[in-house]
Homo-oligomer: A and B are copies of this chain.
């Protein structure tokens, strides 16, 4: 789904990843994190697609909300598992959305 985001400015966390061949348990964790993140204050929504690589972008009202999610205990556990087992490599970028247009 394409997220209905508010009038900019707001923030985007761009998470790009390449999975290892051992992706056992990955989908379940990803689904659990989708439910968990939706409870966070300041969370707007997310967009996700995967083929050769995966891209997940979550949208946030401010940097403080991103910081709180970064330190969420369940999220920290998921990230630990991800680094050990699922991700061959990944990149996280924090960006301020300045303009938006659509059709």
Contacts and interface: CB of A to CB of B under 8 A. Distances in A.
Contacts of A87: 103
A73 interface: no
Interface of A is mostly: strand
Interface residues of A, number: 37
Interface in A10-27: 12, 14, 16-18
Contact of A100 (B53, B55, B92): B92
Nearest to A95: B95
A71 interface: no
Given A2-B17, A12-B14, A93-B97, 5 more contacts: A1-B53, A55-B55, A91-B101, A92-B101, A94-B97
